[in-house]
């Protein structure tokens, strides 16, 4: 077979279906294949370090690792001591920081635009694997850690970059390349602004950008809504949805090969669902593998057919925050608008996603017309977001965790109970998912539920410390099936760093610093011996 024919076959993948769906990118390469090799004229050079951060006392640093741990024989510092530590230590975000120039090293091709402000990227994959120069979902937990480290100016710069993107594109693309423009990421920008304003009281910055925050939420209203009928009433909720054909440019060969396993007429749908899965941040998970005869195969992905509990929880919290923002700025009309939007979403979530018998929220399958009752930590995301009306839901959530036997896992909360080989499934555990459950349970007035929240925090910190002691690095995910190790699975090797792991570690140290230990014995979370486990842990010190 001649090379010309090989080329025609490659370029012809999905041509039949591209009549129905737009291509994955608006620009074409010299080979006339959308986005497979496009080079943006003003590509941004980025550092090869895992962090590019502005230090108040140390000028610019290029940091390879993350949290500096206390000695293994001591307890973590109390809250005030920890805050003081972050001001005086030379490397609270890294074990080996050395002066380094900004934006040197690797060149990130096909960048959408240059960032006006300094950014902190979340890990090595952010610039080597996919060319992403930001990860908004990661950045929420990164910012939490930066604010605890008194790095508010860096957070403001990151926020300004995101706001500029919304002004330019109408939303925040999935990453820093032109072919990510069709995808967003979970809508956490308003939540980030809230954390920054709460820390700095910079109301002027909020007032300057409140319209841009509204524009980003409008993107989700216009492009990602779906109507669901429950109990004879129609409700409007949101989903992840990227109606563009062709393989993902960043994973072109993998997607093209995967498409060979499905009928030709289903390939464009498969590629669109893969993009929606990437937009969700859970790329990939059994949460989305609901459409084929074998639910463990990636070819069964149907992301857009699910109404996710966590996406709607994020939007619910954003609507509440927008109402509070506008009230603070004296705009009662807009404050009332967002208050009403939140009330509508809260009613929809309770009608469609909430399960009173189980005590949790569940993704809703649009095709099957029922909830997906599999366990995922995202099932408790509305609790984390404060999107509920019944104060007892935190205690109901605790019973749900007990019934699901989640509290028997000693090294962290698993991402699911299904081992599909995908990275957002068992046995992996991820920092932000620990946060969803821990902070959700901590909202309860019940001492027992609060104690479980602490024990979950204790288990996660000890896992982080154990792996850090062995590897001298933090990781984006952890394998909790066998004593705690760096995670695996999915489309790439586990990444060091890592922004949201660092951020959550700092958050937990700040919240529970006078209780947490860094020993090697992991506290048991048997539901009937929580107090005994805590006392044993204290005695072992």
Nearest 10 degrees: Cα torsion 118, 121, 127, 131: -80
- The alpha carbon dihedral of 488, 493, 497, 498 has a sign of negative
Per annotation, catalytic residue among 476, 479, 496, 510 = 476
Per annotation, catalytic residue among 144, 194, 216, 283 = 283
Interatomic CA distance for residues 218 and 383, integer angstroms: 24
Q: Residue 49 has what pLDDT? A: 28
32 in catalytic set:
no
135 in catalytic set:
no
If you search the block for the tokens 């839901």, which residue do you land on?
393
Reported CATH class of domain 143-239+308-389: mainly alpha
pTM: 0.80
Beta bridge partners of 54: 60
Residue 77 CB coordination number (10 Å): 18
Q: For the residues of 26-91, what is the DSSP string, one character each?
A: SS--TTSSTTSS---TTPEE--SSSEEEEETTTEEEEESS-PPPPPTTSBPPPHHHHHHHHHH-S-
Count of CA atoms in the C-beta half-sphere (13 A) of 510: 20
The contacts of residue 305 (CB under 8 Å, 6+ apart) are 290, 291, 365, 366, 367
Domain(s) labelled CATH 1.50.10.10 in the chain stretch across: 143-239+308-389
Average pLDDT per block of 10 residues along the chain, 541 residues long: 41 41 64 35 30 31 37 42 39 31 32 48 46 63 97 97 96 91 95 98 98 98 98 97 95 96 96 98 97 90 98 98 98 98 98 98 97 98 97 96 98 97 98 98 96 98 96 96 91 91 97 83 43 38 36
Q: Do 352 and 364 meet the contact criterion of CB atoms below 8 Å apart?
A: yes
Interatomic CA distance for residues 349 and 309, integer angstroms: 8
Q: Residue 488 has what pLDDT? A: 95
Q: Do 178 and 110 meet the contact criterion of CB atoms below 8 Å apart?
A: yes
Q: Residue 519 has what pLDDT? A: 62
Q: Residue 121 has what pLDDT? A: 56
């Amino acid at each position: 077979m001649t090379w010309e024919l090989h080329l025609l076959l490659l370029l012809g993948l999905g041509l039949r279906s591209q009549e129905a769906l737009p291509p994955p990118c608006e620009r074409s390469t010299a080979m006339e294949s959308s986005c497979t090799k496009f080079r943006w004229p003003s590509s941004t050079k980025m550092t090869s370090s895992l962090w590019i951060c502005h230090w108040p006392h140390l000028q610019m640093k290029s940091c390879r690792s993350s949290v500096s741990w206390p000695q293994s024989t001591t307890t973590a510092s109390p809250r005030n001591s920890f805050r003081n530590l972050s001001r005086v230590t030379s490397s609270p975000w890294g074990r080996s920081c050395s002066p380094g120039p900004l934006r040197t090293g690797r060149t990130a091709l096909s960048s959408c635009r240059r960032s006006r402000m300094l950014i902190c990227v979340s890990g090595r994959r952010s610039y080597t694997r996919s060319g992403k120069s930001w990860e908004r979902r990661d950045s929420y937990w990164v910012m939490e850690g930066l604010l605890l480290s008194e790095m508010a100016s860096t957070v403001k710069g990151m926020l300004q970059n995101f706001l500029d993107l919304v002004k330019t594109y109408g939303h925040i693309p999935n990453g820093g390349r032109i072919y990510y423009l069709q995808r967003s990421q979970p809508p956490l920008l308003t939540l980030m602004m809230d954390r920054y304003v709460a820390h700095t009281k910079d109301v002027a910055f909020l007032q300057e950008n409140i319209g841009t925050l509204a524009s980003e939420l409008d993107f989700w209203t216009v492009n990602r809504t779906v109507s669901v009928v429950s109990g004879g009433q129609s409700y409007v909720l949101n989903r992840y949805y990227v109606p563009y054909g062709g393989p993902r440019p960043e994973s072109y060969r993998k997607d093209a090969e995967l498409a060979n396993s499905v009928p030709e007429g289903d390939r464009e749908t498969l590629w669109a669902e893969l993009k929606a899965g990437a937009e969700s941040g859970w790329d990939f998970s059994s949460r989305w593998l609901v459409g084929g005869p074998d639910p463990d195969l990636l070819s069964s992905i149907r992301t857009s057919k699910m109404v996710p509990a966590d996406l709607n929880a994020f939007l619910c919290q954003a609507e509440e925050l927008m109402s509070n923002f506008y009230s603070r700025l004296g705009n009662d009309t807009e404050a009332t608008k967002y208050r009403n939007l939140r009330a509508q979403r809260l009613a929809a979530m309770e009608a469609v996603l909430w399960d009173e018998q189980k005590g949790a929220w569940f993704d809703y399958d649009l095709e099957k017309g029922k909830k997906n009752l599999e366990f995922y930590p995202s099932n408790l995301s509305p609790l984390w977001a404060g999107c509920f009306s019944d104060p007892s839901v935190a205690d109901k959530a605790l019973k749900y965790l007990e019934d699901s036997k989640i509290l028997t896992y000693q090294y962290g909360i698993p991402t699911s109970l299904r081992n599909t080989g995908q990275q957002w499934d068992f046995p992996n555990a991820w920092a932000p998912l620990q946060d969803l459950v821990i902070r959700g349970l901590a909202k309860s007035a019940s001492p027992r539920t609060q104690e479980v929240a602490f024990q979950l925090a204790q288990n996660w910190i000890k896992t982080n410390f154990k792996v850090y002691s062995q590897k001298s690095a933090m990781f984006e995910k952890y394998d909790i099936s066998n004593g705690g190790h760096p995670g695996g699975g999915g489309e790439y090797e586990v990444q060091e760093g890592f922004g949201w792991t660092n951020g959550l570690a700092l958050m937990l140290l700040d919240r529970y610093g006078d209780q947490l230990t860094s020993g090697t014995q992991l506290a048991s979370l048997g539901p009937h011996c929580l107090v005994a486990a805590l006392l044993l842990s204290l005695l072992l010190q």
